[in-house]
Amino acid sequence: MANELIVSVSGIRGIIGAGLSPASALAFAQALGTYLNGGPVVLSRDSRPSGLMLRHAVIAGLASCGCEIHDLGIAPTPTVGLAVRKLEAAGAIQITASHNPAPWNGLKLFGSDGAVLSAAKGLQIKQIFDANAFALASHDKLGGVRECQQALDWHRERVLQLVDVPRIRSANFRVLLDANGGAGGTLGTALLEGLCRACPVVQGGQPDGVFAHAPEPLAENLTAILPLVPQHQASVGFVLDPDADRLALIDEQGRYIGEELTLALAVRCRLKQERGPIVINMSSSRVSEDIAKQFGVECQRAAVGEANVVEKMRAVGALMGGEGNGGVIDPRVGWVRDPYIGMALVLQLLADTGKTLSQLVAELPRYAIVKDKYTVARELLPRLNAALEARWPAAKPNRLDGLRLDWPDRWVHVRPSNTEPIVRVIAEAPREADAQALCKDVGNLLHAMG
């Protein structure tokens, strides 16, 4: 896998010098340019040094199809979505490998609505890429490049419009931000300076691509960051991934609150302000579902994947949506997972309630999530799903995305990977031992099937 270029309906990714090359980036940019009929395109990248090399390839590919390119430079992924709409572009490319380790990079594609492309549209671009069927412009119709330096300001101003800034500032919060050398530090610092009187304590704020710890914002990667929150007497710690579309939380005691509860707290804040449907993915914690029930609104589930959540949000007119990986999607800002509105809503909730983050978390329903994976041939999946339903006839099945089985206080979700011959098994229950038992039962059934 390491030497392969992973091509999917979401874009491409791979290891620099192995799977991912300038030639593949150029061709994929030409595929998007062809699909967009040479329309204007927003271009951005996260802070990985390899992004500069890929930027040149992407510019060449887009320009060769006649696309006018609005170059944001280094910017967070949600900022790209907002800039697409502001600039009335036909689409966008974000050069990023998200939370993958430093050797990785990739291209993420957006449509004219500022959302990540749907699977159906992504498949059309993949087909153009696979067929090398590019619509190249003549010498007098090539695209050019324009720098756009206002996008971070647009994003900051929009978020500040959506919360009670005087109330948050009057609470005198001190906040720690860990951007880990990623794309999100500049905007994160500027936003927090607008929301808090005290200057934020910033770790890895320079977008230089130097990751002080493994880039995914998980507890095991943040052992050096967690104690900094109480050391600096901060009310909350915010942690971003390299392209800044995920937000993990640390409470005032230095405890990892994680990503699953980021969405739940943002949902609670929004539902206190306004009522409306909530959409989460099939593998997200039921805490958000419980909160929606408390406020008397519907919570619907979508297939895993940002584009799937957005599609469902539009279909039901959702007030808010997101995924349990710290991805808050607020349509008032855009159709992309956005940690900046997430930060603002968490601070709004702290200011409105006068409670600490640990107190707010203690009030939430408590569940434990366990995630596992098993190697399995795809042709065995129908048999596995039938065996699971037979094993638990009392559970409510949902076949939207693999198989999810629900009980009143727990669930298990079994879904095939899009890129590997494995199934991912996620279970949630009030006790960790119960969630582990659900995952283990799935493994035992697989073993029995040979």
What angle, rounded to 10 degrees, do the helices at 22-35 and 50-64 form? Answer: 40
Determine the CATH number of domain 368-448.
3.30.310.50
Determine the CATH number of domain 6-149.
3.40.120.10
Query: Tell me, what's the pLDDT at 2?
Result: 54
Question: What whole-number distance in Å separates Cα of residue 411 and Cα of residue 414?
Answer: 10
Query: Tell me, what's the pLDDT at 258?
Result: 84
Query: Tell me, what's the pLDDT at 88?
Result: 98
Q: Give the rounded distance of the alpha carbon of 218 from its chain centre.
A: 14
Half-sphere exposure of 7 (CA within 13 A, CB side): 18
The average pLDDT across 182-195 equals 98
Poorest-confidence range of 1-15, 161-175, 256-270? 1-15
Q: What DSSP string describes 129-166?
A: HHHT---PPPGGG---EEE---HHHHHHHHHHHTS-HH
Query: Tell me, what's the pLDDT at 234?
Result: 98
Percent of the chain with pLDDT over 90: 89
Query: Tell me, what's the pLDDT at 422?
Result: 86
Q: Is residue 342 pLDDT above 60, yes or no?
A: yes
Residues 420, 444: contact at Cβ < 8 Å? no
Query: Tell me, what's the pLDDT at 9?
Result: 65
Question: What whole-number distance in Å separates Cα of residue 300 and Cα of residue 289?
Answer: 8
In this structure, what DSSP letter does residue 20 have? B
Residues 209, 181: contact at Cβ < 8 Å? yes
The average pLDDT across 198-222 equals 96
Q: How confident is residue 408, by pLDDT bands cut at 50, 70 and 90?
A: very high
Q: pLDDT per residue over 217-249, tens digit each?
A: 999 999 999 999 999 999 999 999 999 999 999
State which amino acid sits at residue 233.
Q
Question: What whole-number distance in Å separates Cα of residue 442 and Cα of residue 449?
Answer: 11
State which amino acid sits at residue 435.
A
Poorest-confidence range of 93-107, 119-133, 253-267, 419-433? 419-433
Query: Tell me, what's the pLDDT at 41?
Result: 98
CATH topology of domain 154-362: Alpha-D-Glucose-1,6-Bisphosphate; Chain A, domain 3 (3.40.120)
Q: How confident is residue 378, by pLDDT bands cut at 50, 70 and 90?
A: confident
Q: How confident is residue 450, by pLDDT bands cut at 50, 70 and 90?
A: low
Check for a shared fold between 6-149 and 154-362. Answer: yes
Q: Out of 44, 50, 98, 283, which one is annotated catalytic?
A: 98
Q: What DSSP string describes 225-244?
A: TTTHHHHTT-SEEEEE-TTS
User: CA 287 → CA 244, 361, 366, distances in Å?
Assistant: 23, 11, 8
Rounded to the nearest 10°, the torsion over CA 86, 88, 90, 93 is -20
Question: What is this structure's pTM?
Answer: 0.95
Q: pLDDT per residue over 25-73, tens digit each?
A: 999 999 999 999 999 999 999 999 999 999 999 999 999 999 999 999 9
Picking from 206, 174, 169, 161, the residue whose alpha carbon sits closest to that of residue 187 is: 206
Q: How confident is residue 11, by pLDDT bands cut at 50, 70 and 90?
A: confident
In the numeric block, which tokens belong to residue 296?
Answer: 């008397």
Structural domain spans, the chain: 6-149, 154-362, 368-448
The average pLDDT across 7-20 equals 86
In the numeric block, which tokens belong to residue 294?
Answer: 């408390």
Q: In sequence order, what are the residues at sequence separation of 6 or more whose Cβ sits closer than 8 angstroms to the Cβ of residue 199?
A: 193
Helix or strand run (H / E) with residue 290: helix 287-294
In the numeric block, which tokens belong to residue 101?
Answer: 């380790």
Q: pLDDT per residue over 88-133, tens digit each?
A: 999 999 999 998 899 999 999 999 999 999 889 999 999 999 999 9
Q: Is residue 419 pLDDT above 90, yes or no?
A: no
Residue 148 region, left (φ>0) first, then alpha (ψ -120 to 50), else beta?
beta
- β-partners of residue 176 are 201, 237
Q: How confident is residue 1, by pLDDT bands cut at 50, 70 and 90?
A: very low
Question: What whole-number distance in Å separates Cα of residue 446 and Cα of residue 26?
Answer: 42
Residue 98 falls in the annotated catalytic set? yes
